């Protein structure tokens, strides 16, 4: 910047900030704090949102048949299994797999109890099978009392290793495997098992299930098949998988208000950041008002002065974002070992960067407005 | 004359532009294009080095980025500040600061240089040096230099002296042989 020639506004912006290191440090700490608060809250929102639709997202059936009035995946009604055969008769349907989901009570070896989500799948189709199995084999779930849980919830459920026995709904169950990283929004851990095992534990007759997952034939139009299923079956809901996932996310994050709290905290971070950046930029501007008046007197257009302020805001945003993002990524890494996931996909990092720039730009508004009114004759005072 | 204020009455024209009816931005453009300013208290940017203070003015005047440093250093060299280019204002004496301010005012070769009490904050010797610099600029650069001063010692540097009292012109004279004295190339400041 100094050897090959300078951009005046960038140089002034940087030197104005760097000259008062204590104030600059306070600004950066404020931006880092705001970015961290926004990042963690939005990361929690995305992480939780993903957990609400985990069952749908980790199956590859394009269509789901659910009991009529289903609002989310965790609270399910009942479907007659004969509907499976009705569905198989619809043109374009290739395969239909049952999937059970019911809440149950898990009794730990020490006698305590926890609420769990019983996920029963048909090993033939494999839809709804544990998708991140790190210990044990899928074939082990053929046993009548076999279950697989996630390592994240092992301590909560009072088990440590394969072979541990517990009770679910007062029936004995044996842990035959562990997954890693399958979280639930309700904090009732998923317990994976054979479909017939889940029927038995949930008190369902062998003729009932909760969901039917439909695979379409190659080349079949999913929407055409969905509409045909809805007409043929009646009294059920037939969803595209993506729509059911969105419905589950909307139910838990919006209808229950859970997402609002996270968004509110993120908004608070944004406001805190605007106030901190606004205050420190304004204080810097007021300190340097004679210099801005000099610039104005020698002919600088107001746009030039505003660029100095906005570049100060941009520098604060860039450094604060880098620091804040580093802190968020540390939180993301730490959360990967807990049952609360903080997600930071690239698109969210980009959104956070945009929010940081927006925050600093808003913080600069007061200073910009002050400079719009600057009197060049102040140089003579 | 400096286009900092609009006339309250009558008409003021500068380089063919009437100041009446011009908004603040248009006046700023006029200042930038035609006028260089030297202030009583130098008004240098304290966070910028000497050459950077001059380069800011060159940036404003649209001098290409790659040429700004060389041009700023050329102006400082001409004012006897070759060894002070990289100093911050706080590291310069009063006379040196004022010469940096003059170099900044000369950036972009203005047709008019306005100096407001340029020697008021300087001791007698340094004030004489700065006055000599301004006189020499007026003659060598073809730049009209207008100095506002209460310092009677400035009179011997003037080609034309207008005496104002209570806002009224009471004297207008042209000394036959101004005596500029010192050369601008000498730097006697510590």
- Picking from A74, A324, A342, A64, the residue whose alpha carbon sits closest to that of residue A211 is A64
Q: Which of B37, B47, B68 sits opposite A6 (nearest CB)?
A: B68
Q: What residues 300-329 of chain A have any CB closer than 8 A to a CB of chain B?
A: 300-302, 304
Give the chain A residue nearest B5 (alpha carbons).
A377
Mean pLDDT of the B43-51 span: 94
Which pLDDT tens digit goes with each residue over A222-232?
A: 999 999 999 99
- As for how many domains chain A has, the answer is 2
Is A217 an 8 Å CB contact of chain B?
Answer: no
ipTM of the complex: 0.85
pLDDT at position A109 is 84
Q: Looking at the structure, tell me whether residues A199 and A308 fall in a common domain.
A: no
- Is the Cβ pair B48, A12 closer than 8 Å? yes
Residue A4 pLDDT class (50, 70, 90 cuts): low
Residue A80, chain B, CB below 8 Å: the answer is no
Same domain? A18 vs A97: no
- Determine contact: A352 vs chain B, CB below 8 A: no
| Residue at A263 is within a domain | yes
Please tell me the predicted confidence (pLDDT) of residue A6: 59
Residue A250 included in any domain:
no
- Confidence at residue A242, expressed as pLDDT on a 0 to 100 scale: 94
Buried b or exposed e, range B107-125, using 16+ CB within 10 angstroms: bbebebbbbbbbbebbeee
In this prediction, residue A214 carries a pLDDT of 95
Residue A177 has pLDDT above 70, yes or no: yes
pLDDT digits over A268-327, tens only? Answer: 888 888 888 888 888 888 888 888 999 999 999 999 999 999 999 999 999 999 999 999
pLDDT at B186 over 50: no
Take residue A307 and report the two structure tokens written for it.
């660029």
Query: What percent of chain A shows pLDDT beyond 70?
Result: 98
Q: Which CATH architecture has domain B18-173?
A: 3-Layer(aba) Sandwich (3.40)
Question: Which chain A residue has the Cα nearest residue B86?
Answer: A2
- At B189 the pLDDT is 42
Q: Quick check: A8 contacting B, CB < 8 Å?
A: yes
Residue B180 has pLDDT above 80, yes or no: no
Residues A333-354: tens digit of each pLDDT: 998 888 788 999 999 999 999 9
Q: Is B4 on the interface with A (CB under 8 A)?
A: yes
Nearest CA of chain B to the CA of A281: how many Å? 16
Q: Does the pLDDT at position B188 exceed 70? A: no
Please give the angle made by the CA atoms of A247, A252 and A256, to the nearest 5 degrees. Answer: 120
Q: Name the residue in chain B with its Cα closest to that of A13.
A: B47
**Residue B62 sits at the chain A interface (C-beta within 8 Å):** no
What pLDDT does residue A333 have?
92
Q: Is the pTM of this model over 0.90?
A: no
H helix or E strand, kind and range, residue A94: strand A93-107
Q: Are A44 and A77 members of one domain?
A: no
Domain extent at residue A284: 8-51+257-380
Q: Would A249 be classed as within a structural domain?
A: no
Contact across the interface for B56 and A379, Cβ inside 8 Å: no
Contacts of A372 (CB under 8 A, 6+ apart): A302, A306
CB contact under 8 A, B60 and A376: no
* Chain mean pLDDT for chain A: 90
Same domain, A118 and A182: yes
pLDDT confidence of B178, banded at 50, 70, 90?
A: low
Q: In the structure encoding, which two tokens stand for residue A119, read together?
A: 């996920």
Q: Is residue A244 part of a domain?
A: no
Give the phi and the psi of residue A380 in degrees, each rounded to 5.
Answer: -90, 0
Same domain (yes/no): A228, A146: yes
* In contact, A317 and A360? CB cutoff 8 Å: yes
């Amino acid at each position: 910047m100094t050897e090959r020639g300078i951009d005046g506004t960038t140089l002034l912006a940087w030197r104005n900030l760097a000259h008062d290191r204590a104030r600059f440090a306070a600004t950066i700490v404020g931006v880092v704090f705001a970015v961290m608060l926004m990042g963690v809250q939005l990361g929690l929102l995305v992480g939780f949102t993903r957990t609400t639709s985990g069952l749908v997202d980790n199956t590859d059936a394009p269509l789901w048949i659910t009991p009529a009035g289903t609002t989310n995946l965790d609270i399910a009604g009942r479907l007659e299994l004969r509907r499976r055969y009705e569905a198989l008769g619809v043109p374009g349907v290739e395969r239909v797999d049952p999937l059970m989901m019911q809440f149950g009570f898990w009794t730990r070896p020490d006698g305590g109890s926890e609420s769990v989500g019983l996920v029963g799948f048909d090993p033939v189709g494999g839809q709804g099978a544990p998708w991140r199995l790190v210990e044990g084999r899928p074939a082990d779930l053929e046993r009548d009392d076999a279950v697989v849980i996630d390592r994240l919830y092992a301590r909560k459920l009072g088990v440590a290793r394969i072979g541990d026995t517990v009770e679910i709904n007062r029936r004995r169950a044996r842990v035959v495997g562990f997954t890693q990283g399958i979280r639930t929004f309700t904090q009732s851990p998923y317990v994976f098992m054979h479909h017939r095992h889940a029927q038995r534990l949930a008190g369902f007759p062998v003729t009932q299930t909760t969901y039917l997952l439909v695979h379409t034939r190659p080349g079949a139009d999913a929407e055409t098949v969905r509409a045909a299923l809805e007409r043929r079956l009646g009294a059920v809901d037939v969803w595209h998988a993506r729509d059911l996932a969105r419905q589950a996310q909307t139910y838990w994050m919006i209808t229950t208000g859970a997402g609002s709290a996270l968004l509110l905290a993120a908004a608070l971070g944004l406001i805190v950041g605007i106030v901190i950046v606004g205050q420190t930029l304004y204080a810097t501007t007021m300190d340097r008002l004679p210099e801005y008046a000099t610039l104005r007197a020698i002919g600088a257009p107001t746009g030039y002065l505003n660029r100095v302020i906005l570049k100060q805001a941009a520098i604060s945003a860039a450094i604060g974002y880098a620091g804040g993002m580093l802190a968020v990524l540390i939180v993301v890494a730490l959360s990967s070992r807990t049952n609360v996931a903080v997600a930071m996909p690239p698109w969210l990092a980009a959104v956070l960067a945009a929010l940081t720039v927006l925050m600093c730009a808003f913080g600069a508004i007061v200073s910009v407005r002050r400079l719009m009114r600057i009197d060049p004759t102040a140089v003579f005072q | 004359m400096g286009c900092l204020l609009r006339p309250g009455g009558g008409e003021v024209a500068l380089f063919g532009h009437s100041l009446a009816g011009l908004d603040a931005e248009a006046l700023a453009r006029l200042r930038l294009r035609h006028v260089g300013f030297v202030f009583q208290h130098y008004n240098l940017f304290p966070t910028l080095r000497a050459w950077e203070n001059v380069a800011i003015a060159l940036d404003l005047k649209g001098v290409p980025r790659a040429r700004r440093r060389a041009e700023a250093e050329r102006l400082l060299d001409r004012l006897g500040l070759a060894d002070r280019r990289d100093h911050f204002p706080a590291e310069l004496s009063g006379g040196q600061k004022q010469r940096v301010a003059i170099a900044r005012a000369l950036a972009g070769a203005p047709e008019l240089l306005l100096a407001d009490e340029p020697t008021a904050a300087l001791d007698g010797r340094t004030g004489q040096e700065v006055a000599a610099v301004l006189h020499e600029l007026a003659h060598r650069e073809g730049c009209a230099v207008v100095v506002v001063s209460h310092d009677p010692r400035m009179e011997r540097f003037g080609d034309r002296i207008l005496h104002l009292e209570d806002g009224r012109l009471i004297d207008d004279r042209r000394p036959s042989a101004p005596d500029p004295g010192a050369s601008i190339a000498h730097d006697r400041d510590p």
